[in-house]
Amino acid sequence: MVLDSGGVFMDQVEVESVGSSRDPLEPDVRAPRTAATSRPPAKQSNVAKKEKVSHNGLPAQTNSSQVAQRRPSSSSGAMPRPPLRRPLSLEITPQRLRRSQEQMADRRVVQPPWRSGSAAPSPPARSLTSPSLGAGGWMRRSESTCSVNYSPGLRVGRGQMRPATSLPHIAKREVGRKPAVPSRPCLLVALRPLNLEQEKQTFFQSDYKYEPQFEYAQPEPRSVLEKYQEGSGLFLEQAVGIMECVLKKFGSYENFEEVTGGSILPKCQVWAAVRKYLQKEGCVGEVVVRLSDELLSQAVMVVESCRPTLTINLAGARQHWLEGMLRHEIGTHYLRGVNNNLQPWSTAEGRKQFGLKPANPTEEGLASLHSVLLRKQPYLWRAALLYYTVYHATSMSFSRLFGHIARFVQDPDVRWEYCLRAKRGQTDTSQQGCFSKDQVYLDGILRILRYRRTIDFKMLTSLGKVSFEDVETLRPLAVLPRTRIPHFMRDQERYLQHLHHIVAVNDLDDAALQHLLP
């Protein structure tokens, strides 16, 4: 909640004045005392003291003639009381009115790094703290609404919001016109079935024997689905080994989640955690943040209309895991994207020109490592179970897969989510087949851990969205000024110690990795 401190103080002054019939700094005007209107002596001495008090800091005048002028004569009758007024010393102007229009006009508009330059469009004067009016129905809020990362001259008063002109550009919606619908939404959003809740209810009522029949708003082209239709078993042994480590220590996934993840956070605490992390990375005001309960993944970072947008799944925003998710999405995906825009290979043509390998699995592998990097018990459970579920979805129907992964997960709702991810894109889930994109996390993790001693991680981040295999080739061509390194990677030695700890906790064997990845 954003409070106007000037308004609050004004309310306090008005409350304190209730119960007093006159202004405490006004001269005391009294009629001559009679027996019927006599007052206690203590009050008289108190009044005498008040008459000596200066008015607004000026010395009190005490000569008898002036006192006589103030007091009316008994023959002229009682004079009407002057109107009550607030003393000048208590006149308060709310903070939002103190700043002149000239000062507001002179304030520099803070633009995110990818929109700097004379050609950058001016953002409209609009606050981003209101709910989104977009078709998705998500709550939209810019984390630039608090006054952080500002020089003293530009800092607004405590309790005040920054003006909308200093926020990232959000186009206004015209009244009476429907919002523009993008021709092709984000892949992860497009693959969410329209009839998800109905099919889930039918599946649960059938005692987990029904095969869901999903419908999609815009079915993905066959070429996209074919790209991810084959599941790999290269790291299946490592995936099973990681999950068995967790079950051996915690007994069940549910206990592991409760002990290491903590409770699910309310929206206000999610906003606070996101804002705090953006301050750590020095990118407040650069990312639009949304909260959603409609994502299939924990979070997703995309660019919409030149604005990086982070959407967080509220169902997965756990107390001890949320910052790991922010390291994944902002500390890795976003900062590598910013660095990538500085490089000559930032475009598709540039990548072809330099002969670059695909950014994945390095991109997602690095981000997934950062999700658990600073945890006391950095188990790679999620990446392992996704890999395992996708592999078996290749040869199983939805209901059979649901029963198969009960070995590792008892909670039916959690099993539903993992099976849904592995089967997304399918309409008839009685058929064999998978959506293998989720295997990229464990694949990338293990490849990076295999070569962790030889990778220059700071350079890998500075180069942008490139594979670790291209680092040495691109090093002499890199544009390094203005590149940004996440706070947790600045101490390279400590960073490497965290990676060694991840290998040990998950019982990974370096010799086995070297054999699989010579």
Known catalytic residues? 329
Give me 358's structure tokens.
């695909």
Helix axes 440-450, 362-372, angle to 10 degrees: 80
Q: What does the alpha-carbon distance between residue 473 and residue 488 come to, in Å, rounded to a whole number?
A: 25
- In DSSP notation, 193-243 reads -TTHHHHHHHHHHTTS----B---SSPPPHHHHHHT-----TTHHHHHHHH
128 touches 164 (CB < 8 A) = yes
Q: Which residues contact 376 (CB under 8 A, 6 or more apart)?
A: none
Helix axes 440-450, 492-505, angle to 10 degrees: 120
Give me 423's structure tokens.
């089967």
Strand partners, 264: 318
Q: How far apart, in Å, are the Cα atoms of 383 and each of 69, 368, 378, 432?
A: 89, 8, 12, 22
Q: Which residues contact 87 (CB under 8 A, 6 or more apart)?
A: 23, 24, 25, 56
Q: What does the alpha-carbon distance between residue 465 and residue 444 come to, in Å, rounded to a whole number?
A: 14
- Which residue matches tokens 């109905």? 198
Give the N- to C-terminal CA distance of the chain in Å, as an integer.
55
* β pairing state of 299-304 and 288-292: unpaired
Helix axes 381-393, 440-450, angle to 10 degrees: 130
Q: What does the alpha-carbon distance between residue 213 and residue 512 come to, in Å, rounded to a whole number?
A: 41
Q: What does the alpha-carbon distance between residue 460 and residue 450 come to, in Å, rounded to a whole number?
A: 16
131 touches 94 (CB < 8 A) = no
Give me 253's structure tokens.
């996934």
- Give the CA dihedral 130, 133, 135, 139, nearest 10 degrees: 10
Strand partners, 292: 313
Helix axes 412-423, 381-393, angle to 10 degrees: 60
Helix axes 236-250, 440-450, angle to 10 degrees: 90
